[in-house]
Chain A
């Protein structure tokens, strides 16, 4: 069983569209994250949720809206997609804060054309 699974793995869409990426973890963790990896492979945190509560919102445009229906799921919705949104988006989870092992999903490769 995949510990952190996210769908879709690949997404190609046009500018201006709205898209969502879904994430689920079966590790029983209480903290979930979204990270963005750009074309230079730089990893940067976007959001962090603990027990469905938003605790980190890292200066991300409000076109990005995370939603956590329960502590095992953290979805990412993106409105009005722009070319600069093209990146790999990683969902991740940990038990407690980020000083414990963070488990990453395999990534969702978003290309905006």
Chain B
């Protein structure tokens, strides 16, 4: 059962444009929602994260929007740059699991920013 669904699978944006990646989750116990960025040949790296007590978090050109009632969250990349071209993963975790907290990832979005 895929608990975190991510879309689109791939995204092509022109330099300077806005990239938007969406995720939806099912488990209402999730209370931590990070986004990871992965460049080819490298491991994922934390980009930005949000907890459900706020509806938006911004760090530089990257913004997470969070809608608790809809169980959805999204990543917005403003003024997208070719260097942003990478695979982006949303993820979710909860504190209440008796078997240990685990990070559940979405399927990933391959972002290409054309110059």
Q: Which residue of A lies closest to B107 (CB)?
A: A42
CB–CB A56/B100 < 8 A: yes
Chain A: residues with Cβ within 8 Å of the partner, total of: 24
User: Chain A residue with minimal CB distance to B2?
Assistant: A42
Known: A43-B89, A97-B95, A99-B32. A92 touches B102 (CB 8 A): no
| Nearest-CB residue, chain B, relative to A102 | B103
With an 8 A cutoff between CB atoms, is B93 at the interface? yes
Distance between B102 CB and nearest chain A CB, rounded to angstroms? 5
Give the residue of B31, B41, B42, B87 whose beta carbon is less than 8 angstroms from that of A41: B87
Q: Is the CB of B46 within 8 A of A101?
A: yes
How distant is B74 from chain A, measured CB to nearest CB, in Å? 19
Instruction: Please name the residue on chain A nearest to B46 by beta carbon.
Output: A101
Nearest Cβ distance between residue A65 and chain B, in whole angstroms? 18
In this assembly, does A107 line the interface, its C-beta being within 8 Å of a C-beta of chain B?
Answer: yes
A105 in contact with B102 (CB, 8 Å): no
| Assembly CA distance A4 to B41 (angstroms) | 15
Chain A residues with CB under 8 Å of B95's CB are 97, 99
| Contact status B100-A48, CB under 8 Å | yes
Judge whether A105 and B43 touch: CB under 8 Å: yes
Q: How far is the CA of A97 from the CA of B99 in the complex (A)?
A: 12
Q: How far is the CA of A83 from the CA of B87 in the complex (A)?
A: 25
A-binding residues in B (CB < 8 A): 31-32, 34, 38, 41-46, 49, 87, 89, 93-95, 99-105, 107-108, 110
What would 25 A/B residue contacts be, using CB atoms closer than 8 Å?
Answer: A4-B43, A41-B107, A41-B108, A41-B110, A42-B108, A43-B44, A43-B105, A45-B104, A50-B100, A90-B44, A97-B101, A98-B32, A98-B93, A98-B103, A99-B32, A99-B93, A99-B94, A99-B101, A101-B34, A102-B103, A104-B44, A104-B45, A106-B41, A107-B42, A107-B43
